[in-house]
Structures are given as C-alpha cells and as structure tokens.
Amino acid sequence: MHRFRIGNKTEGSFHILGDELYHLVKVLRLKEGDQAVGFDNTGVQYRGIIESIDRDCASCRIVEEKFPEVEAKTMVYIVMGLAKGEKIEWVIQKGTEIGMAGFVPLRTQRAVLQLDGKKAEQKVVRWQKIAAEAVKQCRRMIEPPIGKVADWNDLMDILPAQTQWVIAYEDEKTASLTHILRGFHSEYPIAILIGPEGGFTPEEVSEAREKLKACSVSLGPRILRTETAALTALTMVLTYFGDLG
C-alpha cells in the first residue's frame, strides 16, 4: 500500500498535500475509495480510505492507527567527511533504510569536496529529500535529520553531551569496533565518524579523541571505501544492540 507523508490531520481524517498530493494523483493515479497510508514524524501510521481529492488536498478517512515498531531503539548517527560524487547520497539513502538516527556532513582536512554557503545549503536540502524518500520506501516513521555541513568545532554542540563517539581510523591496529561497543550503552546516542576518501589526518583523530572522547576503531583488516565504511559501521552497531536482523 502506498505511504504518504501527511500534511495535517483533523478528527478522523488525514490530509495529503503538495508534492505528496501530486504523487498520489499524477503518478499513482489513486482515486476516491482507494486506500492510502499516512504518517508524520510522530511514529503513528494511519491507514485510510480516500474520500475526496481536489486541487490542493486529498482527504482520507482513518480506519486504523498503528504504532509500528520500525525505528531502531539505539540512536546511531553517521558523521561523514565530505566525499565526492554520490557517496553521501548513497549513505543517506541506505543509512536511512538500515536505521540511522541522523546524518552530519563534516568538513575535514583531506576532503576533496568543498561545500560552503549557498552550495552547502542546497546540498543539504537535496540530502533531506533523499532521506525523506528513503523513509517512505523503507516504511520508517521518523525521518532522520540531515544536519548542516559542520566543522570539527561544531560537533560538540550538534549532538547531545552524552553521545558516545567512535572514529573509524584505518591506522588503528588494536581496537576493533565490536570490542569498543562492549563498553557502550545503547540508551545514549552513538556517533560514528567516517573520513572522506583520503581518511582522517592523525591530528583530526587526536582532536576527536581529546575533545569528543572518541574511541578510534578499526573496521577490520580490509580497506573500506568511505561509503562502505559508513554503512558497515552502522550495520555493526545496530546489529550489536539488536536493532537489525
């Protein structure tokens, strides 16, 4: 059944507006009497019957409300160095499916991709759309926020004080991610720092350890591309805490 982010809800009905309405009418060609599923960012899912469709709004009478348990209980954030091409898009899409809590794009020393000012804002808007589409497709309830492009100094303020940080570092020889997770608590957020194509500099790793109390971790003996590292680390953390498979 088709899922729509709802515009608003009145007693007994939800309403589909804007781009979502366009999709319902022009792409899916749904009609009065068809079913539709609506959700907002509160975790509730409504099953409804379309009662009326006009130029600005499709109204659906609610026949069922559910609180599907699809969100991961452990809040895991990906904080990723600006990478080239579509890697960030890819990580946001699949990270949303896998269950990330949010995403922060990070300016790092070795990042080839430079994003500032208006360009950065436009990219973030595009990335938010990708997350929104992925939420619909994977049947999540809550859209993971995509943060503004951040600098290292911003990180301490972007995520809560109790956040537990790990930094994926290919030169880390002893500490594996799985080992580090044993000392983590799933009730506090976890943030995974992933470097751009050139990785993190030793200075960035030192700063993360010092300022964020980040644990540097290896993701195993094979070198992973930045986008592979992001999703692999996310999968490992969510699986460890029982939020996947």
Closest by CA position to 105, among listed 87, 96, 97: 87
200 to 77, 124, 193, 205, 210: CA distances (angstroms): 18, 22, 9, 7, 15
Backbone angles phi, psi at 7, to 5 degrees: -80, -55
**Residue 218 touches its own copies, criterion: CB under 8 A:** yes
Phi, psi (rounded to 5 degrees) for 177:
-60, -45
Residue 178 interacts with its own copies (CB under 8 A)? yes
50: which 2 tokens? Answer: 């379309």
Give φ, ψ of 52 to 5 degrees. -150, 145
| Shortest CB 3 distance to its own copies, Å | 11
In whole angstroms, what is the distance from residue 3 CA to residue 141 CA? 10
Instruction: Say whether residue 177 binds its own copies (CB under 8 A).
Output: yes
Give the nearest distance from C-beta 130 to its own copies in angstroms: 13
What are the structure tokens assigned to 153, written together? 């100094």
Task: Tell me the closest approach of the beta carbon of residue 89 to its own copies, in angstroms.
Answer: 13
Nearer to its own copies, 154 or 197 (CB): 197
Q: Which of 64, 69, 151, 210 binds its own copies (CB under 8 A)?
A: 69
Instruction: Answer yes or no whether residue 41 interacts with its own copies by CB under 8 A.
Output: no
Strands (E), the chain: 3-5, 8-10, 13-16, 35-39, 45-53, 58-66, 76-81, 102-106, 164-168, 190-194, 215-217
Number of residues that bind its own copies (CB under 8 A): 36
Q: Which of 106, 200, 232, 241 binds its own copies (CB under 8 A)?
A: 232
Position 68 contacts its own copies (CB under 8 A)? yes
For residues 134-173, which are near its own copies according to CB under 8 A?
137-140
Q: Does the footprint of its own copies cover residue 176 (CB under 8 A)?
A: yes
Residues 192/78, Cβ–Cβ less than 8 Å? yes
- Residue 198 interacts with its own copies (CB under 8 A): yes or no: no
Please, what is the minimum distance in Å from the beta carbon of residue 78 to its own copies?
14
* Residue (49 or 224) nearer to its own copies, CB: 224
Residues of the shown chain interacting with its own copies in the complex, contacts defined by CB under 8 A: 68-70, 94, 97-99, 137-140, 176-178, 217-225, 227-228, 231-233, 235-236, 238-239, 242-245
